[in-house]
Amino acid sequence: MHDPAALRSLHLARFQAEPAIFVAPGRVNLIGEHTDYAEGFVMPAAIDFATLAAISPRSDGKIVLYSENYQEERSFDASALPAKASKHWTDYPMGVVAILTGEGHKIPGFSLSLWGDVPLGSGLSSSAALEVATSLAVLSLIGASYPGPVLARLCQRVENEFVGANCGIMDQFISVNGEENHALLLDCRDLSFKLAPIPADVALVIANTMVKHSIAGGDYPTRRRESEAACAVINSHRGNVPFLRDATLEDLEKWGHEMEPKSLMRARHVISENLRTVAAEKALEKGDLAEVGRLMAEAHRSYSKDFEGSCAEADAMVELAQDIPGLIGARLTGGGFGGCTINLVERSQAKAFAEELGKRYTAKFGIAPQIHVCHASGGAHRVA
């Protein structure tokens, strides 16, 4: 899969300079959707799809970016950085340069070669992987480093302030801080986290609906605004509720009638999802996989019905999985409106499960889904 040696050869041939190479993984979220920007809880795992970034210094003051995926090279002047995004893949690496420059770093010219296998637009955080790999590469060039949580925040700011996507911290955090064979229960308020071991006999089966997902589009920010409007109503009554993390289901009973109906539904999802996420980690810790599966099913229903963040294909992918032997739990993962489902499956059945799910989905929609049996991998690091 990841072949640093191939990227090194490609970089050497193109730029005639020995690179340092970094890898940053994509992620799957087991549970806790649209809770990160409400300062709540999420439980993602890094996966073995990743972005590789190879970097070497230049002496001509240029920043030259090459993407093997897009087969395209773009060049910028290190002393005249673009002030805003241009809806191009270079927004992510140039956003990293812009944010690091804003932090007071002087970034000299460099050559950067990028390659990745996180499926694009599939809700597996290809953009976070790209930001994190690039930032590690650029920081190594200038001999700087940041603690993991701080680096994740900087990469989140690339999305929020440069690319213009109003996402939370989950994707960047797990890409930086993932741990082999573990999911991570992250408290998005203070970024403290607890490692949640994924049992060795449980596989992460990721099923791509092949419906493109985007967080820059209209639906993600609309849902965010709707849930935040509900929070404002609660806050106006009892104060100290800056985020839905601080709200309860009782608050919705008391003041839900003052909210727009959609806002009430979004808030019900976020508040109940926080409870489910914390409960799922406890169940995992106890080895109670039936309870984990039950919570995932409830989470999917809430995501689909109350948050209206699913789509017909993702609902069907979850539904079709229900009676296939080996399934522990299934739900839509990530930002929503398409993308992938995560299926926790008994490892001994994972291959047969993936085949059967693929068959059923193809029969229903006439589209062959990509289904991957993944494992929880470690976070970003230097590979060469």
Q: Give yes or no: 171 in active site.
A: yes
- Residue 155 vs 252, nearer CB to ligand GAF: 155
CA–CA dist 183, 82 (Å, integer): 37
- Residue 64 vs 188, nearer CB to ligand GAF: 188
- Helix (H) / strand (E) element for 28: namely strand 20-29
Least distance to ligand GAF, CB of residue 156, Å: 8
- Residue 168 vs 338, nearer CB to ligand GAF: 168
**Which burial class, exposed, middle or buried, applies to 334 when counting CB atoms under 10 A from its CB (0-12, 13-18, 19+)?**
buried
CB 193 within 8 A of CB 184: yes
CA–CA dist 27, 175 (Å, integer): 7
Q: DSSP string covering 292-335, please?
A: HHHHHHHHHHIIIIIS----HHHHHHHHHHTTSTTEEEEEE-SS
- Residue 36 vs 356, nearer CB to ligand GAF: 36
Least distance to ligand GAF, CB of residue 171, Å: 5
- Residue 37 vs 49, nearer CB to ligand GAF: 37
Write 194-202 long-range contacts (CB < 8 A, 24+): 194/281, 196/43, 196/281, 196/284, 196/285, 197/284, 198/45, 198/284, 198/376, 199/287, 199/289, 200/347, 201/346, 201/347, 201/348, 202/289, 202/328, 202/344, 202/345, 202/346, 202/347
CA–CA dist 61, 75 (Å, integer): 10
Per-residue DSSP letter, 258: G
CB 63 within 8 A of CB 95: no
Which residue do the tokens 């995004």 mark? 85
Count of Cβ atoms closer than 10 Å to residue 261 Cβ = 10
- Residue 158 vs 324, nearer CB to ligand GAF: 158
- Residue 7 vs 311, nearer CB to ligand GAF: 311
Residue ranges in contact with ligand GAF by CB under 6 A: 33-34, 36-37, 167-168, 170-171, 215, 334-335
Least distance to ligand GAF, CB of residue 36, Å: 5
Least distance to ligand GAF, CB of residue 335, Å: 3
Of the residues 36, 48, 171, 251, which is catalytic?
A: 171
Q: Show the CA angle centred on residue 178, arms to residues 172 and 179, nearest 5°.
A: 175
Least distance to ligand GAF, CB of residue 265, Å: 16
Catalytic machinery residues? 171
